[in-house]
Structure 1
Amino acid sequence: MYHFEDTTIRECRRSPKLPNSAMNYDGIFFEEAIKGYRTLSVSGREMLAVNLEVDNINVGSVIANQTLPPRVLTINYMITNNDPEMIMFNYRWLMEYVLRENDVPIYFNDERDLIYKGRYSSTADVPGDSYSFISSFDIYCQDPRKHTRIFETDGYIGGRLPFKTRPLNMSVTIARQGPLTITDGVKTISMSGTNFKIGDVVEVDFSERWGRILVNGVNKTVLLDLTSDFENFYLHNEQIITSSNGPITIKYREVSM
């Protein structure tokens, strides 16, 4: 069985003080952090078109490959202030908030159950010497998919998984001394040469790009068998994942366009 685990927000109802399209960027609603800031509209949240690579034939064509392009979110906003100097001060605060060197989690007030991952990329011109102005900035999402909040399961995978999706984390508490194998019946992650102790916590952590194996919180990726399907262990709807040595807990997110 599995259940929904919200690790970011305990209150999912919309705030009446925020615009419907207000964006939470790395844990911050700019309306709450910057005086006079207000989101006017957002574009880029709609369904994306796919890129098709085709080879023409005598009749029609043959699709050779299909890819999903990156997503760009454009945030249209307004800043107002009775003091023109303070309005530019608030704008500089906005730039400090949005500038990141890594992708951050993003969600919107009217769509709190879906998370985007992206970072600031560009801004439109901002007029000076004014009591208010309207402008926009772009958020670049190299991963264009929308992610739900975290689900936790003891092995059964259920939900929307139309794209290749890895688990966030798979954790096993060792039940008896010996090796460990995790499998979905087709793909396998194994550490057959390791004599784990009862009570050891072994985690298959996919939160980093290349993934890693943690034993009691310590990086032990070297224990992984070279024949393991570590790099192509993906989730599928109605899949059942089992452990050979102790109960397993799997955390994952559903994805959509």
Structure 2
Amino acid sequence: MYDFHDLSINRKIETEPLPAEALNYGGHWLDREVDGYMTLSTSGRNEFSRQINSADRVDDGAVYLSSRIESKKITVTFQLLASTIEQYNERLEKLKQLLFQPNQPFYFADLQQYHFVGTASALTLDSETLNTTGKIELSLTDPYLHGNVKTITGSGTQIKVNDNELIYPQTPTKLTITPAEAVANLAVTCNGKNISLSVGVDAGQAVVIDFANLNLSINAVDNLMGLTLDSNLSDFYISNGSMISINATGSYKLDYEVKQL
């Protein structure tokens, strides 16, 4: 429909409002694409469990060694309505089709700026009737919520991370450094962690440290073997207030996602 504001036309498509916890799985709103489907509730979204690694003491208790956040599951309870068996089969088939692809980004209507990544591991129905309720089980090997990619760009030898949403230590997505002059052994440090190259980099060559895929490229050519043995890609953590130092001046681009439990 058309809204008139100061003689200009604002065109917008009116759609039915989504339930507060409506699920978007792999880019598809189930409540909009499956006729008769409606999200009723979710559980498990704000839960987490931690596996503790410890060694028993000779006397009482144990000694803490390490821990890790475990995988988790989210359950979506829904309603599916149909008037005929043909409608029922058609709508159920559409739902299964949308849930088929594994390892998909998904999010909910009440928190669309963050997404999970997981797999629809089970679809169950409470009864085999035309009007029924059921559950979708989503299995997450990665228990974190992910925000949209943020970028810090600039030039110099230091990158200051100022982001109040970055409350959990995490690795960046990617760091690109383009030195202004040739450097024999490029080195990057943050919070006691180090990434160093054993090969030289010419002026203007882009060095891309890909934390998401644990890779390194120089001038668009993969060169993971160019990293020194003491380099830390998997635990090169940043958080709000972190300072990344580079031993060569030039331009930089830091990409990261905000993660939350």
Letter in 2 for 1:112: Q
Asked if 2 retains the 8 angstrom alpha-carbon contact of 1:40 and 1:77, the reply is yes
Q: Which residue of 2 aligns with 1:186?
A: 192
Q: Which residue of 2 aligns with 1:171?
A: 176
Equivalent residue runs for 1:62-77 within 5 Å: 62-77=63-78
1:169, distance to aligned residue in structure 2 (A): 0.7
Equivalent residue runs for 1:77-96 within 5 Å: 77-96=78-97
Q: Which residue of 1 aligns with 2:110?
A: 110
Q: Which residue of 1 aligns with 2:140?
A: 141
Q: Quick check: which has more Rg, 1 or 2? A: 2
Change (3 A) 1:62 1:177: closer
Counterpart CA distance in 1 for 2:47 and 2:126 is 30
Asked if 1 retains the 8 angstrom alpha-carbon contact of 2:118 and 2:138, the reply is yes
1:156, distance to aligned residue in structure 2 (A): 1.9
1:121, distance to aligned residue in structure 2 (A): 0.8
Counterpart CA distance in 2 for 1:62 and 1:42 is 37
Change (3 A) 1:139 1:225: same
TM-score, length-normalised on structure 2?
Answer: 0.80
The CA deviation string for residues 30-83 of structure 1, in whole angstroms up to 9 with x for no partner, is 112222221111111123243334536645554343332211010111122333
Asked if 1 retains the 8 angstrom alpha-carbon contact of 2:107 and 2:114, the reply is yes
Change (3 A) 1:234 1:123: same
Counterpart CA distance in 1 for 2:118 and 2:31 is 19
1:162, distance to aligned residue in structure 2 (A): 5.6
1:246, distance to aligned residue in structure 2 (A): 1.4
Letter in 1 for 2:131: S
Asked if 2 retains the 8 angstrom alpha-carbon contact of 1:159 and 1:254, the reply is no
Q: From 211, 216, 222, give the equivalent of 1:213.
A: 216
Change (3 A) 1:109 1:57: farther
| SS of the residue 2:125 aligns to | coil
The sequence identity of aligned pairs, in percent, is: 22
Asked if 2 retains the 8 angstrom alpha-carbon contact of 1:181 and 1:192, the reply is no
Asked if 1 retains the 8 angstrom alpha-carbon contact of 2:178 and 2:203, the reply is no
Counterpart CA distance in 2 for 1:252 and 1:194 is 26
Letter in 2 for 1:173: T
Q: Does residue 253 in structure 1 map to residue 253 in structure 2?
A: no
Change (3 A) 1:159 1:47: farther
